[in-house]
Amino acid sequence: MSTVRMRAAALLLAVTLATPLDADTTNLTCVVKAGRNVNARDIALNCGVGEQEVQEILTILRRIEGDAEAQKQQLDRMEAILAAIPKHSISDLALVELARRISADVTDAETAFFELRKAVDIAAGVQQQARDYPGTDAFVAEVLRQVAKLNDAALLDDAGAELDRALALIGAEEANLRARKLTLLQSALKQDILRRDVQAAASRHFALIELQQGRPATISQIREVTIDNWKYTQRFGGQFELELAIALTDLAIEIAGGAADTSMLQNDNGIFWELMGTRGHAADGFAKSVTAFRAALSVYTEGEHPVQWAMTQNNLAIALQQQGIRSAWPQGAALLAQAVTAYRAALSVRTRGEHPVQWAMTQENIGIAELALADHEATADPAPHLRAALGHVEAALTVYDPEHMPYDHGTATALRDHLRARLSKPD
């Protein structure tokens, strides 16, 4: 196995969650580099890993080196990541440690590869900053060098502690030290991301805003950061930014001064948790989404905040629908029925006369929820739900214009035809 292949294989072990080994990063790298043709007992003695663990690693390595196309593709992708890293910028130890941390909270290989590529870019930047930082501030330069050294040894938590120690030594109110503290805070934020410490990263954002603005962070400033992270994960994928958006919003809720701000933030969190559930990043994502939307609705009333109330009712319905589809009966059917109720509530504001497009989309959503109810294992007679679904979809098609809204018209037409075909079949 080539040197690059050895590095790729070591990372692949962690990234694809191939084995829940307890061996530390140094020992794991040692075993992989030893190669599969060395006696397992000798490897165990030299690397400080149990012989059974060595056998497990070697078995996985043999599988990786085999002819399975999927394994080859994963190795090729990993080598592409490695090839993009500047030479000598990140050690094998650091690479494997990054991968192991990602594998601890990422459940699918696709997201893991994305998170690893991003982490590698950050880690390389940290090392580069330590090399290029000007010597005009010896204190900061030395801290950055120590952080780079600790990262190189895969001691990511120790590197974070070093930055926290340095920040504690700097007086926050001394104007001549603001630039110094800003540099260290930005480095500490990068370290939090490498360590995958979402709570620390969220707190660090608060500190950065306060330092840059000279006053505590406001709700609008925090929301800017959360929305930026949400937009990033919408565009590129990734899990950490979505978790960070949730952590930032939770902290913002703690400092919110009024009910309106709290409701707005709860609605944000509902959207973030729903996406966590949709992507499979959190088993309880939809349940937490529903909780957040219901909390927002405790303040948003139809009379005082009709637009926000209807929007949140629609969001709640979507979360309930997704949770219901994934839940066994009778809970799943009950959740789907609640989704239909929430959609219908939104229609009291989203009328055809004032909001025709939103009205049509909500009608189609009710049709989709009714279809899900018809197909649910708890439904004895699907026909009433199929008929209800057809009525709502046909209502949506009275607004969807095939010329100006071809996509919406096409999907609704396909759904209508499906429902008609289902209803035309004899029992």
From first to last of the 427 residues of the chain, give the pLDDT tens digit: 455 555 665 565 555 544 444 555 566 566 655 655 556 666 666 666 667 766 766 666 565 555 556 666 766 777 777 777 766 678 878 888 888 888 888 877 778 888 888 998 899 999 999 989 887 788 999 999 999 999 999 999 999 999 999 998 886 445 557 888 899 999 999 999 999 999 999 999 999 999 988 889 999 999 999 999 999 998 888 899 999 999 999 999 999 988 889 999 999 999 999 999 999 888 899 999 999 999 999 888 888 889 999 999 999 999 999 999 888 878 889 999 999 999 999 999 999 999 999 999 999 999 999 999 999 888 889 999 999 999 999 999 999 999 999 999 999 999 999 999 999 987 6
Please check whether residue 305 is in contact with residue 297, taking contact to mean a CB–CB distance below 8 angstroms.
no
Block residue for tokens 């990993």:
78
User: Dihedral (C-alpha) 322, 326, 330, 334: value to the nearest 10 degrees?
Assistant: 0
Model pLDDT, residue 93? 81
HSE value, Cβ hemisphere, 13 Å, CA-based, for 51? 6
Model pLDDT, residue 1? 46
Block residue for tokens 């060395």:
38
Please check whether residue 297 is in contact with residue 251, taking contact to mean a CB–CB distance below 8 angstroms.
no
Nearest to 194, CA basis, from 130, 102, 114: 102
**Helix axis angle, 3-15 relative to 25-34, nearest 10°?**
130
Give the pTM: 0.80
DSSP 213: H
Collapse the DSSP code of 128 into the 3-class scheme (helix H, G, I; strand E, B; otherwise coil) and give the result: helix
Spatial distance between the Cα atoms of 372 and 325, rounded to a whole number of angstroms: 7
Spatial distance between the Cα atoms of 188 and 167, rounded to a whole number of angstroms: 9
User: Dihedral (C-alpha) 176, 180, 183, 188: value to the nearest 10 degrees?
Assistant: -130
Model pLDDT, residue 176? 58
CB 409: neighbour CB atoms within 10 A? 18
